[in-house]
Homo-oligomer: A and B are copies of this chain.
Amino acid sequence: MSVRILIVDDHPLVLEGLKSLLADVESVQVVGTASNAIDAIAFLKSNEVDIAFLDINLPDISGIDLCKKVKDQFPDVKTLALSTFNERAYVSRMIQNGASGYLIKSSGKEDILEAIAQVQAGGYFMNVQFDQVTPATAPKTVPFLTRREKEVLVLIAEGLTNPQIAEQLFISVTTVNSHRQNLLIKFEVSNTASLIKLAAGLGLI
């Protein structure tokens, strides 16, 4: 029996590309596509799927969160992350959320088929080229950020100062500062410039 695949990506090009690449492969069958998380979950509710390809960047919720949802609601469905970025960071996040692997979109046909085979067999697959990541500034792992820290981070990136952020979130300036300090510590940097550069590189903002 062929492996049943669901592709979740908001880019028609990627959907088409993957479908096209997998169309003439006997052992694989693309049974559905979705361009957002809601459709993806809906599809899984009424269809049998072996492997779900999840884009990291989706319009509604991030692929990382979707991965968690899928593994919670459909433990038997294996998930494979899809992304244009080859950041070491994403791997650990996705694996933490139960993904069976990680595939960069610049992968060739062989990589993709290899990934499907590997994952279907119960293994892991990841073809990220770690070497390309700037070793000096890249943190070992992606720091796990709390809800509040993420909020503060995006507001910092938008150019708000601590007092402005405090006003926006209805909290005290010292609290904002605490979150800010924690961000610096978690990202292992010593100032805002490095923080934003890293966060931007990771697609967090």
List the B side residues contacting A193 at CB < 8 Å: 156-159, 192-193, 195-196
From 12 to 30 in chain A, residues with beta carbon under 8 angstroms from any chain B beta carbon are: 12-21
Asked whether A123 is an interface residue with its Cβ less than 8 Å from the other chain, the reply is no
Chain A: residues with Cβ within 8 Å of the partner, total of 39
Q: Is the CB of B16 within 8 A of A157?
A: no
**CB closest chain-B residue, reference A197:** B157
Mark the stretch among A62-70, A106-114, A170-178 that contacts chain B.
A106-114
Closest chain B CB from A134 CB (angstroms): 7
Asked whether A143 is an interface residue with its Cβ less than 8 Å from the other chain, the reply is no
Asked whether A45 is an interface residue with its Cβ less than 8 Å from the other chain, the reply is no
Closest chain B CB from A87 CB (angstroms): 12
Closest chain B CB from A109 CB (angstroms): 7
Compute how far the CA of A191 lies from the CA of B106 in the bound complex, rounded to whole angstroms: 35
